[in-house]
Amino acid sequence: MKSLTVKAKEAALIENRIIKITLTNSLFAIYVFMGKDKDYILSENYCSCPHFYYRIFRKNPIVEKRVNIENSKCYHLQALELALEKDKVRSIYVDLVTMREILLEIYSMDKSFILRKLVMR
Ligand SMILES: [Zn+2]
């Protein structure tokens, strides 16, 4: 089971799925996990996938109960961590309008076609 997860993580890396999108002339950046069918918005400790949500909020309904961050990492966050570690993150720079459109596409259509076009360049 464990080796399967590692294999999947390595596969994600090989396919260049982690994209860092930085807003030009600013320090603002987000990470996107570019999946086959869906894109997920990531930061070092947040992922927009339902799996992450379930682990953080559903399994820990009592706020006082400490959330074990290590156990809360979904596949995408594990892939991000590994990509950062191995310096395999792909970086692109966009203006505010483009950033907004990418995010809007991910929220409304589950994946960004603009991002795909930018990465294809
Ligand atoms: Zn995730």
Closest CA to 15 of 105, 106, 83: 83
Q: How far is the CA of 31 from the centre of ligand 1 (A)?
A: 11
| Per-residue confidence (pLDDT) for residue 104, from 0 to 100 | 97
Spatial distance between the Cα atoms of 79 and 113, rounded to a whole number of angstroms: 22
The boundaries of the domain holding residue 105 are 2-120
Q: How far is the CA of 25 from the centre of ligand 1 (A)?
A: 28
Spatial distance between the Cα atoms of 41 and 30, rounded to a whole number of angstroms: 7
Spatial distance between the Cα atoms of 86 and 90, rounded to a whole number of angstroms: 12
| Per-residue confidence (pLDDT) for residue 44, from 0 to 100 | 84
Q: How far is the CA of 5 from the centre of ligand 1 (A)?
A: 13
CA angle 26, 74, 34 (to 5 degrees): 55
Spatial distance between the Cα atoms of 49 and 65, rounded to a whole number of angstroms: 22
Helices (H), 38-112: 50-53, 75-85, 96-109
Domain count, the chain: 1
Q: How far is the CA of 1 from the centre of ligand 1 (A)?
A: 18
Spatial distance between the Cα atoms of 40 and 78, rounded to a whole number of angstroms: 13
Mean pLDDT by 10 residues, the chain (121 residues): 67 79 94 94 90 70 52 84 90 96 97 94 69
| Per-residue confidence (pLDDT) for residue 18, from 0 to 100 | 94
| Per-residue confidence (pLDDT) for residue 51, from 0 to 100 | 84
Q: How far is the CA of 98 from the centre of ligand 1 (A)?
A: 23
Q: How far is the CA of 79 from the centre of ligand 1 (A)?
A: 9
Q: How far is the CA of 45 from the centre of ligand 1 (A)?
A: 10
